[in-house]
Amino acid sequence: MAETTYLEAIRQGLWEELERDERVFLLGEDIGALGGPFRVTEGMLERFGAGRVIDTPISEQAIIGAAAGAAHMGLRPVCEMQFIDFIACGYDMLTNYVATARYRAGLPTPMVVRGPSGGYVRGGPFHSQNPEAAFLHTPGLKIVCPATVRDAKGLIKAAIRDEDPVLFFEHKYLYRRIKEDLPAGEEILTPIGRARVARAGADLTIVTWSAMVWKALEAAERLAAVDGLSVEVLDLRTLLPLDDEAIVASVRKTSRVLVAHEDTRTGGVAGEIIARINELAFEWLDAPVRRVAAHDVPLPYAPTLEDTVLPQTEDLITASRWLASY
């Protein structure tokens, strides 16, 4: 078995779906001859041709809008945002057009918008964002944020096969940093809308997703070793729709919850998760649900600044100890 990176897993997932279903095609900036700046689409132009691997102008509205039109006609487009920060340029098309199409007009719009998100890479304000909160508030969209190699592959394939538009936020910090054995020949499909217990525990739950899952696992390891705390890590995998059942199950198990995300605090997804815990599992709580999130500033470039703004493993440990001793 070959070790597969997170990036290669996405590439494999795209490749397999392009092979499996001729309705699938890709469009984005520099995805053809270059294979994308991170090489997610490397070799696809040569294999599938310019008719299915379409290099576009720098036009996020056109990429997303054209994908929607093609999806209405029965095709399965996958759009690449070169950096997910630029999805904001297509915000109108996604929220006003794509997300409403099925409800207002009965128009199926099965399409995927994917791209590299996330910080810890010294990318500065426009190559580090986590835009999930901007879209969580839009009925009609789905949002997935894989944390593992297996889920990166399983969720991109599931997203392409989904009947509705899916935003696939892959974390660029993970691209080449995590590896996993993916058995050749196994069809990996990760169901959208289902969370995963990344580590089982009894004293405290950290609810998180994407790259923060790895920091949470590291924190859990240290807390077990140093404090004797049993920390559960719940990897949400899908943010829209949220897996309420899995969240509530973990709350009932540990009664102390930390919600951690890399995006900024105010209006972040943690607020929604905590509201749901309040509504669905208030009586199971032994402590207030707390957040660990980025500080409310644009993400700066310098390592000293970025590391200050973004939550670190040490922050998860500190917050967990606070909660455990409440």
Partner 1 sequence: MTVAPRATPPPAGLTGLQLLDLYYWMRLTRSLEERLVGLHRQGKVVGGLFRSLGQEADAVGSAYALEPGDILSPLIRNLGSMLVKGATPLEVFRQYMAKAESPTAGRELNIHFNDLARGFLGQVSPLGAMVPVMAGIALSFRMTGQRRVGLVYVGDGAMSTGAFHEGINFAAVQRLPLVVVCENNGYAYSTPARLQTAAARLVDKAPGYGIAAERADGNDVVATWEATKAAVDRARAGDGVTLVELVTYRRKGHAEHDDQRYVPAGEIEAWERNDPIDRHLARLRAEGWATEPELAATDARVARELDEALARCLEEPFPDPGTALTGVYADPAAAPLEWYRRIAEPPRG
Residue 97 CB, nearest distance to partner 1 (Å)?
A: 5
- The CB-of-225 to partner 1 minimum distance in angstroms stands at 42
Give the span between the Cα atoms of 200 and 131, in whole angstroms. 28
Nearest residue (CB) to partner 1, 96 versus 325 = 96
Instruction: Name the DSSP class of 190.
Output: P
Q: Give the number of other Cβ atoms within 10 Å of residue 72's Cβ.
A: 15
89 or 305: CB nearest partner 1:
89
Active site residue: 127, 137, 171, 295, which one? Answer: 127
Least separation in angstroms between residue 87's CB and partner 1 is 14
Task: Give yes or no: 127 in active site.
Answer: yes
Would strands 142-144 and 112-117 be described as parallel, antiparallel, or unpaired? unpaired
Task: Return the SS3 of 169.
Answer: strand
d(CA 270, CA 239): 10
Using the minimum distance from each CB to partner 1, give the nearer residue, 78 or 229. Answer: 78
Residues 6+ apart with CB under 8 A from 38: 7, 116, 172, 175
CA torsion sign, 3 to 230 to 202 to 247?
A: negative
List residues binding partner 1 (CB under 8 A): 25, 51-52, 54, 56-57, 59-75, 77, 92-93, 96-97, 100, 102-108, 139-140, 142, 163-164, 241, 279
Comparing CB distances to partner 1, the nearer of 54 and 149 is 54
Q: How far apart are CA 275 and CA 130, in angstroms?
A: 21
Q: Which positions are annotated as active-site residues? A: 127
